[in-house]
Structure 1
Amino acid sequence: MKNIKKSYFLTLVFLLLAVVSFGQTKLTGKVSDFLTFQPIESASVYIKNTTTGSITNADGNFVLKVPQQHLQDTLIISSIGYKSFTVTVANFENGSDIYLEEDVASLDEVVIVADPRPTTGNGIVQRAIEKLPDNLPEMAYLQKGFLRHKERNKKEYKWLIESAITLYDSSYAAGAKNHLKINVDETRKSYDLRDVDSLFTYSAYLKSLGSKSSNVSRSGVKTSALIKAIKWNDSRVNGIENLFKGKLNLVRNSNTVGALLGKNTLNKHEFVLDTILVNNGRKLYKIKIEKGEDFVGLNTPNIYNEGFEPKGWIYIYYDNYAIKKVEYELIAASEVQKRRSKSLFATQKLHKLIIDYKDFDGKMYPNYIYYETPKLVNTGDRSSDRAKTEAEPGFDKDEQYYYTIQEILFSDIIQDSELISQELQQNDWSADIFSSKPYNEAFWKNYNVLLESKEEEKLIQDLSKRASLFKE
């Protein structure tokens, strides 16, 4: 009976999507700096007072599909530190080059005021943390999004999965572990697991089951068993569910024990006020993130994910202390982590995170997430899970580790309690990006996705020739 209800509900949803998408207008353009002519990456492109939006890619290009009912609404293109570009959707000239001018406020003008405001980076960040209950959603909501999960070395993509997801969050006040859910609604993918045979992951998986992990070779591992190992590893390291529920969801999970951006954040971070910028007419503090007295750690089970120092930027609105954007990196700092990182990944930067928020109905909701981390792999036949040394035959440094990259572009926000209740009952609430789903051509034709850069597009086309599961 539940399956019948679910089928009916999903059919109704797709019918509604078809109605909305009928007569859609596709907007395209390129956003660049007015003075340097350099492309502006991650500029926001959205329809005013709606959740319809996208961002520019590394080349500054964007594509946005706009429902017909919004043709007379205002298109806004904005980026932190620039004046916004606005035009009615109906009057936007497709393929336009948009040049944004720099917009920087005076630091003295903003800091020297009569009201008792914090004047240091540490003080401003602490005030922003105190204000999170006011600035984050206090009621349950659903949010639709597009996920691109890719793994690559310096030369090529090894696999790519793109999914439409639904995020449920009961509110900031509730802990994410039991009150935040993710469901993979639709999937299109391109991968060949013969090229993603991480025997390190498989060996660790066997150890977790209490089985022997010595003398493991790719030829002796079934693909189905390898998929189980990859799923297991994602759930504890860099899977989508772990990304949302773990420490790296810095703002949302700041109220949990041991949070990186919690009440004890100054033990491991130093925040230095840099300047005042402007975003779509609102002033923001631009604050540099530096190391504190203690190392940062992620407490990952059975993995040494400790001994880091933080680096990056945090952007906070001046008027209400709402956090607009966080750019956060974790760099190997302890001697143990430095040796480990250099030996395994040939880099000291182990985690790179960008979280951008959008203001909707006076609350800050996720807009875009980017997360990158190296993952140790081992391609080809191997007699053990030990890393090769350069002296050994067949050593290829590019095949020793891949970069795992997750990008999420969020769109529709659903606040209606009845619709939320329906989806909670009907969805399976599985964050399994490997789940087998038939390719839904009509759905993807009308869904706003992240636009690939020219380099990415070429690599994806190359991967599609090697993998049999790719769908246009």
Structure 2
Amino acid sequence: MKSKPNYSHFKSWKALLVALLIFGATPQSNAATILQEEQQEEFNQYKGKIIDANSKKELVFATITIQNSNISTVTNTEGDFALKVPKALADATVSISFLGYKTKELSLKELKESNKIALETAVTALSEVNIVVPKNAELLVRETLNKKGADYFEFPTLMTAFYRETIKKRKKNVSLSEAVVNIHKAPYTTKQNDAVELYKARKSTDYSKLDTLTLKLQGGPFNTLFIDLMKYPEYVFTQETIPLYNYTFERSARINDQLIYVINFSQKENLTDQLYKGQLFIDAEHKILTSAIYELNITDRENAARMFVKRKPAKANVYPTAVAYRVDYREKDNKWYYGYSNVMLEFKINWDDRWFNSVYSMTCEMAVTDWEKNEGKNLKGKEKLRRNIILSDEALGFSDPDFWGEYNIIEPEKSIESAIKKIQRQIKKDKIGGTAAIPKP
């Protein structure tokens, strides 16, 4: 009889992604307006939707990049994007890429005020290419994880990023927090942790839809930053945990004219501990991780609840039903770096004294929109964002539409955008009446 593996080396996500459920009276929202006036470089804004050329389905998290620059953004869950480009780059070329699709290049001069851009699929059977397919998928994963020093940024980087976290009750948005942050990204060759500086933040919450609960997400941008598998592999893959998974080749795809192996991984059947399952996208020629999409394999919901729920109502059981992750990398001058990540947590609340359960989902995502080499800029202690930050407690109410200036953000979903506008109108109305509180609808 085999002895049970020792998982003491395995770092759980408990310290990284925690849903705080506080039972009590709903607080009044702080609807103060952020007023900042800054010198801003003139820019042009381009909007549009990225779709599949055949099915016409929206492509979620497609990357839009200005060539020969560090400017980029991603599409939202409805395939929409908004890209702000300095007028000095009006003659530049924009690249649109998505996993498994042919990259499209367009001149900015070709773009209109509103654009619909279709991408064609680019799937290649492994037997049709001239690259020798590795016989052992696990060895390929090991080799890829060991190459971060050669293929990823070896120098300190100062990144500008857009961060958003949302809370939904079933399918309706009840809370939204957004921020522009500066990431002091440490070289991939070191074990030094990244540091984050909060630059601007805003929020909007409809407390009337929260079942007298105040739902908060602890960790803020660090939730998304720490799923950079090449910088922090210890949260999923270590020398001890790599053998605990099964690895198989699924298919290949071409991305930016590079052949990509798609490797499935899942925990071995005889293991009951909660590990992960998902897909790794590895550049076939250079053995570089370009993207990863995975989820927690929930085998024990009570244990999963202890991992993710810090506080809960006394008369309710709270447990996650799904925890999913995604990280994408980008390339510049033959070096790769963290570009985008997304975390989704879905959970149920079973009330002791109610007929119906409550279903909530929390999503946080972060996209690097610009970067430069960090020439000796170091954050002091008070400037560093705390790893246990609750962004919704730090941010103020939503400001005017020009608040974000030239910063690239992820285009809001229509439902979120409509909710924000409704609350903004109510805030303005209440100010005229002499109060800044957001009333219940």
Q: Which amino acid aligns with 2:343?
A: Y
- 198, 214, 217: which is aligned to 1:184? 198
Query: Contact (CA 8 Å) 2:305, 2:320: kept in 1 or not?
Result: no
Alignment of 1:4-403 (within 5 A): 14-15=38-39, 18-19=40-41, 22=42, 24-110=43-129, 113=132, 118-176=134-192, 179-192=193-206, 234-235=218-219, 239-245=220-226, 248-254=227-233, 256=234, 259-292=235-268, 307-334=273-300, 337=303, 344=317, 348-349=321-322, 351-374=323-346, 388-389=351-352, 392=353, 394-398=354-358, 402-403=360-361
Instruction: Give the alignment's TM-score, normalised by structure 1.
Output: 0.71
Q: Please give the secondary structure, in 2, of the residue aligned with 1:444.
A: coil
Q: Please give the secondary structure, in 1, of the residue aligned with 2:144.
A: helix
Q: CA deviation at 1:277?
A: 0.3
Q: CA deviation at 1:295?
A: 5.0
Q: Which amino acid aligns with 1:184?
A: L
Query: Contact (CA 8 Å) 2:398, 2:424: kept in 1 or not?
Result: no
Q: For the structure 1 residues 388 and 134, does the alpha-carbon distance in structure 2 shift closer, same or farther, using more than 3 Å as the test?
A: same
Aligned partners of 1:376, 1:295: CA distance in 2, in Å?
A: 25
Aligned partners of 1:266, 1:376: CA distance in 2, in Å?
A: 31
Instruction: Give the alignment's TM-score, normalised by structure 2.
Output: 0.76
The aligned residue for residue 445 of structure 1 is 405
The aligned residue for residue 406 of structure 1 is 364
Query: Contact (CA 8 Å) 2:301, 2:321: kept in 1 or not?
Result: no
Q: Larger relative CO (CA 8 A, sep 6+): 1 or 2?
A: 2
Query: Contact (CA 8 Å) 1:250, 1:260: kept in 2 or not?
Result: yes
The aligned residue for residue 394 of structure 2 is 435
Is the helix fraction higher in 1 or 2?
Answer: 1
**Offset from partner CA, 1:212-261 (integer Å, 9 cap, x none):** xxxxxxxxxxxxxx89xx5xx714xxx4335534xx4433112x4xx412
Aligned partners of 1:171, 1:329: CA distance in 2, in Å?
A: 27
Q: CA deviation at 1:320?
A: 1.3
Q: Please give the secondary structure, in 2, of the residue aligned with 1:308.
A: coil
Q: CA deviation at 1:120?
A: 3.2
Q: For the structure 1 residues 332 and 463, does the alpha-carbon distance in structure 2 shift closer, same or farther, using more than 3 Å as the test?
A: farther
Aligned partners of 1:288, 1:111: CA distance in 2, in Å?
A: 22
Q: For the structure 1 residues 438 and 454, does the alpha-carbon distance in structure 2 shift closer, same or farther, using more than 3 Å as the test?
A: closer
**Offset from partner CA, 1:71-90 (integer Å, 9 cap, x none):** 11111111121112112112
Q: Please give the secondary structure, in 2, of the residue aligned with 1:452.
A: coil
CA RMSD of aligned residues (A): 3.3
Q: Which amino acid aligns with 1:310?
A: Y
Aligned partners of 1:272, 1:42: CA distance in 2, in Å?
A: 25
Q: Which amino acid aligns with 2:221?
A: I
Query: Contact (CA 8 Å) 1:267, 1:293: kept in 2 or not?
Result: no
Q: Where has structure 1 moved over 4 Å in runs of 4 or more?
A: 192-199, 293-296, 334-341, 343-347, 436-443, 459-470
Aligned partners of 1:311, 1:456: CA distance in 2, in Å?
A: 30
- 414, 418, 433: which is aligned to 1:454? 414
Structure 1, unmatched stretches of 5+, are 1-12, 200-225, 297-306, 378-386
**Offset from partner CA, 1:284-313 (integer Å, 9 cap, x none):** 1111122236758xxxxxxxxxx3242221
Q: Please give the secondary structure, in 2, of the residue aligned with 1:319.
A: coil
Query: Contact (CA 8 Å) 1:74, 1:88: kept in 2 or not?
Result: yes
Q: Please give the secondary structure, in 1, of the residue aligned with 2:285.
A: coil
Structure 2, unmatched stretches of 5+, are 1-36, 309-315, 428-435
Q: Which amino acid aligns with 2:205?
A: Y
Aligned partners of 1:464, 1:155: CA distance in 2, in Å?
A: 21
Q: For the structure 1 residues 72 and 119, does the alpha-carbon distance in structure 2 shift closer, same or farther, using more than 3 Å as the test?
A: farther
Q: Which amino acid aligns with 2:407?
A: Y
Q: For the structure 1 residues 159 and 137, does the alpha-carbon distance in structure 2 shift closer, same or farther, using more than 3 Å as the test?
A: same
Q: CA deviation at 1:466?
A: 7.6
Q: Please give the secondary structure, in 2, of the residue aligned with 1:448.
A: coil
Is the strand fraction higher in 1 or 2?
Answer: 2
Q: Which amino acid aligns with 1:279?
A: I
Instruction: Tell me the matched-pair count.
Output: 381
**Offset from partner CA, 1:414-470 (integer Å, 9 cap, x none):** 20414x34xx25971225423256977555132211112333434444565788689
Q: CA deviation at 1:318?
A: 1.4
Q: CA deviation at 1:149?
A: 1.2
Query: Contact (CA 8 Å) 1:146, 1:409: kept in 2 or not?
Result: yes
Aligned partners of 1:59, 1:158: CA distance in 2, in Å?
A: 18
Query: Contact (CA 8 Å) 1:83, 1:281: kept in 2 or not?
Result: yes
**Offset from partner CA, 1:189-230 (integer Å, 9 cap, x none):** 11256765887xxxxxxxxxxxxxxxxxxxxxxxxxx89xx5
Q: CA deviation at 1:175?
A: 2.8
Aligned partners of 1:268, 1:184: CA distance in 2, in Å?
A: 38
Q: Which amino acid aligns with 2:232?
A: N
